[in-house]
């Protein structure tokens, strides 16, 4: 705007002052953001994105290749801390994964090692607990905002011209120089002073006292009493605490409750033709575990099998090896190569029963 504004324009001085004020405000905000302390939990890798947890929200950002106006990152996703859940990952191929979820969004994250995963998850639980306690102490205001109600007193009424009304819209008394017109500020009706005797603070007018009629006064009072009753009941009933952190995987490859266990090669659709050899074990908890070796004391990954399907690969899978079967759920596909055809058939038979919840 300034570039195209002529130098002798009468608006130029005001425009330059306005730009200076906006620039100063932006610099002040940037300085304040730099002072915000984030948990020191190492680098959280999400496809080369950056995660920023604040007190009441989480921002998923990506670094810009070209910085514009001093901005280094672009916000890709935003998740409110209210209702945020943290859960262990179920990625069978990648280690040290976990999820952050809300009602409408789920993001899978991974770290470089188990210690960083532990620190990040613990950091999230601490912030969730702090946010839960803060909202619990401010429960009255929060619940008032959430209770659905009619718009009486919360929205300005449609104005009615005084000249269009010749008598009180309540008692029907005619207006004259002595009986003057008054308006109910809640419903907008034009009435006489006797029919608008009350005053109530109305939300749409910043809770300033306004004249209201008998009907609106009784309605608003009744609604407020119902709200207070609901709030008392909710305050007396304690809220459920935020979800507690799950323990890390402590399953031995030699556990006796394994339904079937073998060395197999693993491949995912995203990894192309690259296969990884691991020890796989299917347990009574209907989860599939992977280990570095058959003597490992703890699992690398675990994957609940609920909802998964098992089948032989087709032409579209482009799998050239023998003794291969696949597990798939929506867009997730895992390919397994057993050591023999017999072992492949054993795995398929057991997995079909487990995936269909048969015992």
* CA dist., res. 84 & res. 286, Å (int): 27
304 to 107, 256, 286: CA distances (angstroms): 18, 19, 6
Q: Is 59 exposed, middle or buried (0-12, 13-18, 19+ CB in 10 A)?
A: middle
Phi/psi for 95 (5° steps) reads -90, 165
Can you give the pLDDT at residue 239? 57
* CA dist., res. 168 & res. 191, Å (int): 4
Can you give the pLDDT at residue 304? 87
Cβ–Cβ under 8 Å, residues 252 and 297? yes
pLDDT by residue (tens digit) across 78-99?
Answer: 787 777 888 888 888 888 888 8
pLDDT by residue (tens digit) across 309-343?
Answer: 999 998 888 888 899 999 998 888 999 999 999 99
**Segments making up each domain of the chain, as ranges:** 1-31, 36-137, 159-236, 258-355
Mean pLDDT for the stretch of residues 166-182: 85
Looking at the predicted structure, is the pLDDT value of residue 358 above 60?
Answer: no
Please provide the DSSP assignment of 117-175 as one string.
HHHHHHHHHHHHHHHHHHHHHTHHHHHHHHS----BTTBPPPP--GGG--B-TTT-PBP
76 to 42, 47, 52, 60: CA distances (angstroms): 20, 12, 11, 6
Buried b (16+ CB within 10 A) or exposed e, 243-271: eeeeeebebebeeeebbbbbebbbbbeee
Same fold, 159-236 and 258-355: no
For 192, which DSSP code? -
Can you give the pLDDT at residue 30? 58
Categorize the per-residue pLDDT at 277 as very low, low, confident or very high, splitting at 50, 70 and 90.
very high
pLDDT by residue (tens digit) across 17-40?
Answer: 877 877 776 666 555 544 433 344
Residues for the chain: how many in total? 359
Cβ–Cβ under 8 Å, residues 186 and 153? yes
- Poorest-pLDDT segment among 45-49, 198-202, 275-279, 296-300: 45-49
* pTM passes above 0.75: no
For residue 311, the cross-strand partners are 326
Instruction: Please tell us whether the domain made up of 36-137 is placed in CATH 2.30.29.30.
Output: yes
Highest mean pLDDT among 32-36, 162-166, 267-271: 162-166
pLDDT above 70 coverage of the chain, percent:
77
Nearest residue to 236 (alpha-carbon basis) of 133, 140, 134? 140
28 to 21, 24, 35, 202, 265: CA distances (angstroms): 11, 6, 11, 35, 56
Query: Own/partner pairs for 195-203, CB < 8 Å, 24+ apart?
Result: 195/168, 195/170, 195/171, 200/153, 202/153, 202/154, 203/153, 203/154
List Cβ neighbours of 71 (8 Å cut-off, separation of 6 or more).
64
Can you give the pLDDT at residue 210? 92
Instruction: Please tell us whether the domain made up of 258-355 is placed in CATH 2.30.29.30.
Output: yes
- The encoded tokens of residue 90 equal 């179920």
Residue 287, sorted as left (phi over 0), alpha (psi -120 to 50) or beta, turns out to be beta
User: CA angle, corner 269, sides to 263 and 271, nearest 5?
Assistant: 75
Q: Tell me which of 3.30.40.10, 3.40.50.2300, 2.40.50.140, 3.30.70.360 is the CATH number of domain 159-236.
A: 3.30.40.10
């Amino acid at each position: 705007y300034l570039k195209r504004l002529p130098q002798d324009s009468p608006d130029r001085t005001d425009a330059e002052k306005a730009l200076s004020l906006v620039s100063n405000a932006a610099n002040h905000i940037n300085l304040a953001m730099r002072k915000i302390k984030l948990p020191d939990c190492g680098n959280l890798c999400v496809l080369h994105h950056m995660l920023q947890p604040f007190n009441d929200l989480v921002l998923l950002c990506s670094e810009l290749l070209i910085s514009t106006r001093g901005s280094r990152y672009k916000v890709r996703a935003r998740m409110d801390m209210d209702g945020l859940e943290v859960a262990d990952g179920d990625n069978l191929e990648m280690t040290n994964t976990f999820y952050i979820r809300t009602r409408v969004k789920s993001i899978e994250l991974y770290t470089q090692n188990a210690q960083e995963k532990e620190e990040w998850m613990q950091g999230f639980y601490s912030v969730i607990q702090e946010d839960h306690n803060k909202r619990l102490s401010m429960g009255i205001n929060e619940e008032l905002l959430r209770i659905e109600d009619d718009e009486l007193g919360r929205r300005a009424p449609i104005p009615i011209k005084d000249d269009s009304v010749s008598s009180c819209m309540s008692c029907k008394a005619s207006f004259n120089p002595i009986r003057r017109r008054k308006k109910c500020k809640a419903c907008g009706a034009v009435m006489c002073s006797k029919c608008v005797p009350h005053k109530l603070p109305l939300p749409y007018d910043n809770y300033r006292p306004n004249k209201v009629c008998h009907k609106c006064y009784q309605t608003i009072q009744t609604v407020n009493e119902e709200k207070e009753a609901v709030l008392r009941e909710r305050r007396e009933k304690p809220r459920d605490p935020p979800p507690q952190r799950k323990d890390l995987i402590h399953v031995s490859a030699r556990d006796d409750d394994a339904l079937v266990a073998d060395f197999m090669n693993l491949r995912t659709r995203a990894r192309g033709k690259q296969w990884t050899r691991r020890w796989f074990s299917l347990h009574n908890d209907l989860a599939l575990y992977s280990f570095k070796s058959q003597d490992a004391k703890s699992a690398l990954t675990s994957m609940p099998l609920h909802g998964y399907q098992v089948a032989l690969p087709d032409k579209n899978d482009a799998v050239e090896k023998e003794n291969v079967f696949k597990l798939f759920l929506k867009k997730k596909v895992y390919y397994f190569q057993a050591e023999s055809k017999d072992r492949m058939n054993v795995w398929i038979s057991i997995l079909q029963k487990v995936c269909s919840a048969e015992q």
